[in-house]
Amino acid sequence: MDSQDITSLSRLKKGEKAYVVDLGLKGLMRRRVLDLGIVPGTILQCVAMAPSGDPVAYLVRGTVIAIRNEDANFIQVRAT
């Protein structure tokens, strides 16, 4: 697979699944994301969006979490 298959988490549409390739977050937000179990190799599924489109809910390791698009832009994923 080439780098064109990689996109940001914020671009997933409802129902799509992808796995984490890289975290471009820094500092406290990076620590929070890691604490939630979002590490390279983790499979995520977009399950719901707020009416405004932000934040977006993702299924992560059996738990649904909401992530703001400004943070999801820094999480690189590849479709499963």
Residue 46's domain is classified under what CATH number?
Answer: 2.30.30.90
Given a cut of 70, whether residue 2 has pLDDT beyond it is no
User: In total, how many domains does the chain have?
Assistant: 1
60: left (phi over 0), alpha (psi -120 to 50) or beta: beta
Local confidence band at 3 (pLDDT 50, 70, 90 cut-offs)? low
Count CA atoms closer than 13 A to 57's CA, side-chain side.
8
Which pLDDT does position 80 carry in this prediction? 87
State the Cα–Cα distance between residues 6 and 35, nearest whole angstrom: 23
pLDDT in tens, 43-78: 999 999 999 989 999 999 999 999 999 999 999 999
The rounded Cα 50 to chain-centroid distance in angstroms is: 15
Residue 20 structural domain: 3-79
Which pLDDT does position 1 carry in this prediction? 42
Predicted TM-score (pTM) of this structure: 0.88
